[in-house]
Amino acid sequence: MRPRRSRSVPGSPAVSVAFPGALCRGSGCRFACELLKHVLHQRNQLPLPYEQLAFFCRRAAQDGDGIEKPPSMGLGSIKCQQVLMDLEELFQHLEGIFSLTPVPRVLFLLGGNVMNPKELYELNLEELCEGSAKESLQTAPCLRQLFHTLFVADIFSELKALPVTGTLVLVQGHRDCGVEWFRPKLNYKVPTRGRKFTVKLSCDGDHQLSASPPQQEASEWEDYIWFQAPVTLKGFSE
């Protein structure tokens, strides 16, 4: 039994990206991390793109002018430092779970709660596949293809401004993958309320799906569950 295919709420926007071949190992995790950074910035949870924020925040915190600044000042604030620490920890553990289990789907839930978010972004990796190191596509050009598609789709322009809120991350994986940091959500069902947007990635050609176990173990699909990251990413503004 395969895990349930993602079903978009009627009328909910979706973008599909087909890469021209198999991908190298670790691409799925990179897509998840980069898409999360993008969503957080576009939905006003980060005042700058992640890389710029990390650079300016650390420079502000390490300013060597000898003057102690109030903790609420801009990019050197405690809030900025905390969100960067939380994101770095999350990225590290995402790499861990991707190395332990195939990951068919990832969810980013903005606002509300885990059962009733204001906005839901789903990354569907069910049809991605991995190739050998020599034959697989490099991740960087695939990321450019993904973000070019998102740019053309212009998915954020019609959205109303979202106030600073919290973001939750859930990852689908095998229940016995051995991950410790993420919390299992055994009976979790993807919310149908709120605004939902789906990014579906796939590989052209006849490849063995990397997001599925070998064919002889197809019955294990029923053992795939959701895992929730035990940290809420708290947005902030300058």
Q: In this structure, what CATH number is given to the domain that contains residue 43?
A: 3.30.900.20
Query: What is the value of pTM for the model shown?
Result: 0.85
The verdict on residue 1 lying in a domain is: no
Contacts of residue 157, defined as CB under 8 A and 6 or more positions apart, other chains included, come to none
The verdict on residue 2 lying in a domain is: no
Position 4 scores a pLDDT of 42
Higher pLDDT, 56 or 123: 123
Phi–psi pair at 173, nearest 5 degrees: -160, 180
Phi–psi pair at 56, nearest 5 degrees: -70, -35
Q: H/E/C letters for each residue in 60-117? A: HHCCCCCCCCCCCCHHHCHHHHHHHHHHHHHHHHHHHHHHHCCCCEEEEEECCCCCCC
Higher pLDDT, 131 or 112: 112
Query: Residue 106 and residue 237: Cα distance in Å, rounded?
Result: 26
pLDDT digits (tens, 9 = 90+) for 132-161: 777 899 999 999 999 999 999 998 888 888
The verdict on residue 85 lying in a domain is: yes
In the chain, where does DSSP find H-type helix?
A: 27-42, 50-61, 78-100, 139-153
The verdict on residue 4 lying in a domain is: no
Mean pLDDT of 85-97: 97
Unique residue bearing structure tokens 């390490």: 62
Report how many domains make up the chain: 1
Mean pLDDT of 56-79: 61
Which residue in 156, 161, 155 sits closest to 44, CA to CA?
161
Domain that holds residue 227: 15-234
The answer, yes or no, to whether residue 24 has pLDDT greater than 60, is yes
pLDDT digits (tens, 9 = 90+) for 193-230: 889 999 999 998 654 444 444 333 445 568 899 999 99
**Positive/negative CA dihedral, 103, 105, 111, 116:** negative
Mean pLDDT of 14-26: 93
User: What is the pLDDT confidence band of residue 3, given thresholds at 50, 70 and 90?
Assistant: very low
Position 220 scores a pLDDT of 57
Output the average pLDDT for the chain. Answer: 85
